[in-house]
Structure 1
Amino acid sequence: MISQLSWKIGGQQGEGVESTDRIFSTALNRLGYYLYGYRHFSSRIKGGHTNNKIRISTKPIRAISDDLDILVAFDQETIDFNAHELNANGVIVADAKFNPVLPEGIQARLFPVPITAIAEELGTSLFKNMAASGASWALLGLPIDVFNKAVEEEFGRKGAAVVEKNIEAVRKGAESVLELAGGPLHEFALEPADGGQKMFIIGNDAIALGALAAGCRFMPAYPITPASEIMEYLIKTLPKFGGTVIQTEDEIAACTMAIGANYGGVRTLTASAGPGLSLMMEAIGLAGMTETPVVIVDTQRGGPSTGLPTKQEQSDLNAMVYGTHGEIPKIVLSPSTIEECFYDTIEAFNLADKYQCPVILMTDLQLSLGKQSSAMLDYNRIVIDRGNLVTEPEEAEQNQLFKRYEFTEDGISPRVLPGVKYGIHHVTGVEHDQTGRPSESTENRQRMMDKRMEKLKHIKVTDAVKVDAPHETPDILLIGMGSTGGTIDEARERLAKEGIKTNHATVRLIHPFPTKDIKSYIEKAKTVIVIENNATGQLADQIKLHTGYGDKIQSLLKYNGNPFLPAEIEQKCKELSLAWQH
């Protein structure tokens, strides 16, 4: 028996690839397996090759696999595009309708199952995804009742007749492939899972749930890949808690509306991707100048311009740190796991209120859309901190305004919500005095700038840098951010077997940069490799800028639209090790 297996299904976008993957992985989750998924899809509604890859394991995993065990193909393009990933014992389950053939040099076993014929026999080609799922499930020899239960939950709302036909498609697909294969494939028999309860969600859903738990009750946003699921989740959920979502005409309106709502005291967030973030920049500056809390989620994708809307990239870092004109205090926080997406969203709201500034939550497409197993969330960890929010200001003298922007040692002024007695003040995007009145005084300007920027010296976040450092003096310190963490750790496991000592640091606070938290680990390492999905090494540049160790820092970059594979990181480290030996 084996402890893990990789399965992929592919076809034309819109022909059931997503639903097949969803039911297959849901059933595996019910059995207690750990799962990690990756979606390769086109930036259009229908048509174009798409595939979903699921890694199944008896232990926690946070990376896609280098290779592939089972490929389910709805068309020849899927075989041509993906067969190179198959390992020596690989299997292709293909729809017999298109007369599948193996590409030259591929040694996989090919099982042409009459997937479309089974579906049409049951009344419609829509059932072919269930026939394909049944064939996959049967090859693994897993209990069919668990799979049928997942089918019932998926289609139950459509009535018993629909459920029965889908289950019949599953049965026929299973029988057909078992006849071709001579029974379940024992080499793919999975060890029993631990059976423990796990969440199986995407990062966007975890962010949306975190916003809800943080007390967010309003979301203005404009749909954009790969951020739209946050909006879609909250559209369904917020009204149950007295909140609402508004689809705005563009991201400019979304950001300014979020600022206005936060000014009024309602915890609000907006979410977008790179192009939308560009449009928000002037408004983000307004939030910084008026010291208004606002939480913005940037789910990075391939750029620039429209770029690769449905592909992985981490190239917005510089835009988040430097994008606004002028200088404002802001926080850029980067979760690296599903759990962190939830807890960091809550922390983002607390940080925004505490430091009265914009907080950008930075994810990437793989973390946002890659469905993964996650530990159950601990709601006892939730803490709400509204910061220096004054609910009962002292009685003001006649015609005296509230000092909303009062000079303080830590730069954080008392904040009051509109309508609170004795809390009247001005709010403007131009430079202003302590009461908010416009001011062009040179002395006031310098003091106000100093006051606002002072906040950056006091910002504290949970685990600004998350470090796994078993070695006092490692050969290599691997540094990453976002979704690269699990891939780095898997590569490290392999490198350890080769005698290469590695430590791992995940940078979670991008701005203000946590220099003290990471500098000592860089000092002790023989060399440092920074792993990121962009062409210019933006995280590496930040590290060099703030630590001064440019001579020992190297970059491993990938910007072709795909996430890193463990083997790519492993290979880079081995090349370095060989170079040292020579």
Structure 2
Amino acid sequence: MISQLSWKVGGQQGEGIESTGEIFAAAMNHLGYYLYGYRHFSSRIKGGHTNNKIRVSTTPVRSLQDGLDILVAFDQETIDVNVHELQDEGIVIADAKFKPTIPEGSNVILYAVPFTEIARELGSSLMKNMVAIGASSAILDLDTNEYYDIVYQTFGRKGTKVVENNMKAIGKGAAFVQSQSQGKPSNLKLMPADGQKRMYMIGNDAISIGLLAGGCRFMAAYPITPASEIMEFMIKHLPDYGGTVIQTEDEMAAATMAIGANYAGVRAITASAGPGLSLMMESIGLAGMTETPLVVVDTQRGGPSTGLPTKQEQSDLMAMIYGTHGEIPKIVMAPSTVEEGFYDAVEALNLAEEYQCPVILLSDLQLSLGKQTVDYLDYDQVEIRRGNLDIDPDLPELEKGHYFKRYKVTENGISPRILPGTKNGIFHVTGVEHDETGKPSEKAPNRREQMEKRLRKLKDLPKKFPAPVTKTTINDENPDLLFVGYISTRGAIEEAMARLRQDGFKVNHAHIRLLHPFPSEEITPLLENAKQVIVVEHNATGQLANILKMNTGYGDKITSVLKFDGTPFLPGEIYHECMQEVVVYGNR
């Protein structure tokens, strides 16, 4: 019996590949296994190779597995593209319709199962994916009845007959493989799971739930991969809580609408990806100058320009920190798990209002669209903090020609904030430099005073921010290696670390959750104590490594492990890259 399994289904986009993976994963989740799934898909609606790789484990997992145990193929291209991942004696379950062949020299087992033929006998070729699920169940020695609840949830609205036929398809697929294997027990039978109920969701859904729980009641956005699921979630659920979503004509309008709503006192957000964020930069600067709260979710993808719209990358970091013209206070934070996506979304809304500035919640395609097992979210941890916003102040009557000091110079840089229309609270709002009342002013002393006020408001944030650096397995005082990463690289790094520890290396890990203002005081001692620092990131220029050097020094210790081909890191890739670097540096 095995403690974990790597399973992949592939075929042409639009022929049910995603639903096949979803139903298989839902059944595994129902049984209590931990899951991690990642879908490879093309930037078009139909056609082109797509696959869904799902890792099933009896213990928590946060990354894909290096190899592959079972490949379910709906066409020959799936075999040709993915067979190299299969372990020795791995299994290919393929539709007999296309007469599947295995490349010469591949040590794998092929089951040619008539997916399409069986499905047609039951009334519809669309059920071929259910036949494939049944065939997989036979290999894993799973009771096909375990799928009933999932099939009913998926197809129950279409009637009892449809549910019955889909269950028959699963059963016939299992029976065919059992007949072909002649009762030989599979070596891929999973150990029993703990049976606990957990959620299984993409990062975008967790972020959306966090935004909703954190009091967001307005979203303005323009559809873009991989951020669209946030807008779709909010369209479906926000009206139930008195909120609304507007699909704008472009990302500039989305950002300015969100700024307007926040100015009026409504917690409002927008979400996009790299190309959309480029268009929002002037508006983000406006939020910084007018000290208006604004939360922007950036789900990074391959760039530049249209780039790789449906592939993994982490190349927006420098743009998110330094992209706006001029200098404004800005917070950039980065969750590394689905759970953190929920809690950080709540925190982003709080910080935007407390510090009256833009907050970028930085995700990437792997976290945004990849699926992870999630323990039930703790809503008791959710608190709403609105900072210096006074909803119903009793303000003294203003003398003629005087205005409320909305941009009052304060010691901590955070000015009083009231809602527009407040009695005796009139003030001016403009994107040009202004005095304490908002009135435009280009006087040099005023410019210095207002600029210094805005910039000092974030001075102490790294000390107040909850866990700006996630220190996983930090227990070696003077490690050979210190890994540094952010967002979705966490799981692959942790597994690579485990292998390096088995090889006798002392290894620590710091995953950065607050990227700007940078938590230098917290991370510098970790760099100082390490012999070598390995920064793992998905871009070609080492953006996180450069941020690290700028804020801490220690450039002579820092080495980058980079990947920018659009695919996620696997633990083995990081391990082998590090072994090469360790040899170079002599840190054995």
Q: Distance in 2 between matches of 1:50 and 1:577?
A: 36
Give the one of 543, 556, 570 matched to 2:548: 543
Q: Distance in 2 between matches of 1:295 and 1:334?
A: 13
1:142 alignment partner in structure 2: 142
1:119 alignment partner in structure 2: 119
1:152 aligned onto 2:157: no
For residues 349-498 of structure 1, the aligned pairs below 5 Å read 349-390=349-390, 391-399=392-400, 400-459=402-461, 460-468=464-472, 469-498=474-503
- State the Cα deviation string for residues 380-428 of structure 1 (Å, max 9, x = none): 1001100001231421333331110000001000000112222211111
Kept in 1: contact 2:480–2:587 (CA 8 A): no
1:161 alignment partner in structure 2: 161
2:440 alignment partner AA: P
2:580 alignment partner in structure 1: 575
Range 23-32 or range 396-405, more displaced: 396-405
Q: Distance in 1 between matches of 2:450 and 2:185?
A: 70
Kept in 1: contact 2:144–2:170 (CA 8 A): no
Identity of aligned residues (%): 63
2:281 alignment partner AA: M
> How big is the shift at 1:183?
3.6
Q: Distance in 1 between matches of 2:228 and 2:454?
A: 33
SS in 1 for 2:470: strand
> How big is the shift at 1:573?
2.3
1:204 alignment partner in structure 2: 204
2:111 alignment partner AA: F
Kept in 2: contact 1:140–1:185 (CA 8 A): no
1:413 alignment partner AA: S
1:395 alignment partner AA: P
2:59 alignment partner in structure 1: 59
2:427 alignment partner AA: H
SS in 1 for 2:418: coil
For residues 40-189 of structure 1, the aligned pairs below 5 Å read 40-183=40-183, 185-189=185-189
1:557 alignment partner in structure 2: 562
1:566 aligned onto 2:571: yes
- State the Cα deviation string for residues 12-35 of structure 1 (Å, max 9, x = none): 000000001111100100100000
Give the one of 501, 511, 528 matched to 2:533: 528
SS in 1 for 2:133: helix
Q: Distance in 2 between matches of 1:183 and 1:430?
A: 78
> TM-score, normalised to structure 1's length?
0.99
> How big is the shift at 1:52?
0.1
Q: Distance in 2 between matches of 1:397 and 1:328?
A: 30
> How big is the shift at 1:355?
0.2
Q: Distance in 2 between matches of 1:172 and 1:435?
A: 75
SS in 2 for 1:188: coil
Range 261-270 or range 156-165, more displaced: 156-165
Q: Distance in 2 between matches of 1:296 and 1:418?
A: 23
Kept in 2: contact 1:311–1:365 (CA 8 A): yes
Kept in 2: contact 1:141–1:184 (CA 8 A): no
The 1:310–1:185 alpha-carbon spacing in structure 2 relative to 1, beyond 3 Å, is farther
The 1:102–1:270 alpha-carbon spacing in structure 2 relative to 1, beyond 3 Å, is same
1:490 alignment partner AA: E
> How big is the shift at 1:458?
2.3
1:7 aligned onto 2:12: no
Q: Distance in 2 between matches of 1:575 and 1:34?
A: 32
Kept in 2: contact 1:401–1:425 (CA 8 A): yes
Range 169-178 or range 378-387, more displaced: 169-178
SS in 2 for 1:456: coil
Q: Distance in 2 between matches of 1:422 and 1:161?
A: 68
2:520 alignment partner in structure 1: 515
> How big is the shift at 1:263?
0.5
Q: Distance in 1 between matches of 2:116 and 2:128?
A: 5
Q: Distance in 2 between matches of 1:581 and 1:39?
A: 37
Q: Distance in 1 between matches of 2:295 and 2:405?
A: 24
SS in 1 for 2:187: helix
Kept in 2: contact 1:140–1:184 (CA 8 A): no
Kept in 1: contact 2:23–2:150 (CA 8 A): yes
1:111 alignment partner AA: Y
Alpha-carbon RMSD: 1.0
For residues 223-262 of structure 1, the aligned pairs below 5 Å read 223-262=223-262
Q: Distance in 2 between matches of 1:240 and 1:377?
A: 20
- State the Cα deviation string for residues 516-560 of structure 1 (Å, max 9, x = none): 110000000010000000000000000001111000000000000
- State the Cα deviation string for residues 73-121 of structure 1 (Å, max 9, x = none): 0000000000000001200000000000001221100000000101111
SS in 1 for 2:458: helix
Which runs of 5 or more residues in structure 2 are unaligned? Answer: none
Q: Distance in 2 between matches of 1:68 and 1:158?
A: 35
> How big is the shift at 1:571?
1.0
The 1:581–1:422 alpha-carbon spacing in structure 2 relative to 1, beyond 3 Å, is closer
